[in-house]
Structure 1
């Protein structure tokens, strides 16, 4: 049987975790200098700037920076590892010269989580890890463009050779209703769970040096909202990989949480699995 993708990832992380000035990847780190979206969402900006001619281009750049570092290994004897992580995902209208090439949206996602090693066998797969955490996600905007939510989540990782499967489910921490739409206090997006769902399932498959991933997110309701994201990567030099990404659904970014869109992009990535 081929080597386990999860074991390879853990081995690489342990080799660098105690080294100073070395950042450990959390989610995928990538740069997509060219992406095309089928339904650009200009509506939020038209509301905030009613006197300006706002147009979002179909073409834009997208990138993600994601890292983590251990706070405490073996919290409970020989198991239980506490981590802090941060993910930044940005959408850059770099080709929109008429609007001075602005950053259209940037999402910030700090989180803290506990991860436990495990060796349960389930349907031929090894449940290598399980854990739980708390995560905040926001776009750093104010008033009508502000989007944010806080969640408590649980996660389990299964693997067998070149295949890995991760299940993540969450519960949103409730917020007070706004008394006025312009009030900075209160819930910016009370219906976000209807679009972003309450769980996601991520599969990874390695075929030689190729890496394929698929993410499915849903809330299992009859309205069929959710999202799917598919990626492919292949090494080109050193740790640098050719990276392609396709997204279809709701909630690619917080500003678009209730907007359906499709996007395809190509670029480079530094790590091959989420």
Structure 2
């Protein structure tokens, strides 16, 4: 099949999926909001949409063109069963897309304010330009979660800084592959979110559920992906600037980290052009102990805002 046909079919499928999702989701709420966190997490009675309503979670985007300075052609792990023996001839250019949704399944917990959500995120890295390897999906990451979220008093403020919510999640992430490419882990992820004028930020430390070494797909993953992350989002005249950073918090020569910067610019309605630049370890699960730099261009419907 020709590359043009593949891209056309891929684009039609994605557009159809996003269109169906848009029809079932009230994107207008996210278009005119002032308090992002209030709207995205339904922290007030005015923003509540009830239970079992599908809404966006993490960014939803398509990057038809994405460059890596050094694609991971021979994934390794400290577990010898998860070490690839034959390198893959991956291209430096590939496509990437992400879909992410959540739905509230119950509310009114813990003094009548806490909510429980189910979340799901899928990220795909597709070697669509690699005809030699029959254009495979290099990596698919699946991330289901059960999230407890608790809103903080709306009038709380410390020198203009407004604490908005706290909570925790049971998080599983895996790539669904068999040995030697299998990668997965389970975590308890805590979160606290704040707003200051046009800036919002969320801090998420986590604790990994321990596994035996001989059954662990990615031993010492925390040494590379880190022990938590922080996401900063700034809006300016409908443009959105976001920065996600994470590290292992080691202030020595064992420091490992990762940064993901995204800039979105409105095109029409909810459609926005985006630039995404990443650097560091753990760009995907298969790359958890591998450092690279990527640059991608594409479009989005939903960012962190």
Tell me whether the two structures share a fold, i.e. TM-score over 0.5. Answer: yes
Deviation per residue, 1:151-195 (Å, 9 max, x gap): 0011000002211010000000001121xxxxxxx1111111110
Q: What is the SS of the residue equivalent to 1:43?
A: coil
1:81 paired with 2:115, answer yes
1:260 paired with 2:291, answer yes
TM-score (norm 1): 0.89
Tell me what 1:42 maps to: 73
User: Once the 2 structures are TM-superposed, how far is the Cα of residue 26 of structure 1 from its aligned partner?
Assistant: 0.6
1:58 paired with 2:105, answer no
CA distance in structure 1 between the partners assigned to 2:101 and 2:249 by the alignment: 30
User: Once the 2 structures are TM-superposed, how far is the Cα of residue 144 of structure 1 from its aligned partner?
Assistant: 1.1
Tell me what 2:276 maps to: 245
- 8 Å CA contact retained: 1:241, 1:272: no
CA distance in structure 1 between the partners assigned to 2:189 and 2:39 by the alignment: 25
User: Once the 2 structures are TM-superposed, how far is the Cα of residue 16 of structure 1 from its aligned partner?
Assistant: 8.1
CA distance in structure 1 between the partners assigned to 2:42 and 2:142 by the alignment: 28
1:133 paired with 2:152, answer no
Q: What is the SS of the residue equivalent to 2:38?
A: helix
Question: How many pairs does the alignment contain?
Answer: 262
Deviation per residue, 1:64-98 (Å, 9 max, x gap): 11100001011234210000000001100000011
User: Once the 2 structures are TM-superposed, how far is the Cα of residue 48 of structure 1 from its aligned partner?
Assistant: 4.3
The runs of 5 or more residues in structure 1 that have no matched partner are: 179-185
CA distance in structure 2 between the partners assigned to 1:134 and 1:254 by the alignment: 18
- 8 Å CA contact retained: 2:50, 2:104: no
Alpha-carbon RMSD: 2.2
User: Once the 2 structures are TM-superposed, how far is the Cα of residue 5 of structure 1 from its aligned partner?
Assistant: 3.1
User: Once the 2 structures are TM-superposed, how far is the Cα of residue 18 of structure 1 from its aligned partner?
Assistant: 4.3
Residue 218 (structure 2) aligned to one of 175, 178, 189: 189
CA distance in structure 2 between the partners assigned to 1:9 and 1:135 by the alignment: 19
The runs of 5 or more residues in structure 2 that have no matched partner are: 1-32, 77-82
CA distance in structure 2 between the partners assigned to 1:23 and 1:265 by the alignment: 28
1:156 paired with 2:185, answer no
- 8 Å CA contact retained: 2:61, 2:299: yes
Deviation per residue, 1:222-271 (Å, 9 max, x gap): 22211011001122122111111100000010000111000010111111
Going by fraction, where is strand more abundant, 1 or 2?
1
Q: What is the SS of the residue equivalent to 2:112?
A: coil
CA distance in structure 1 between the partners assigned to 2:162 and 2:50 by the alignment: 27
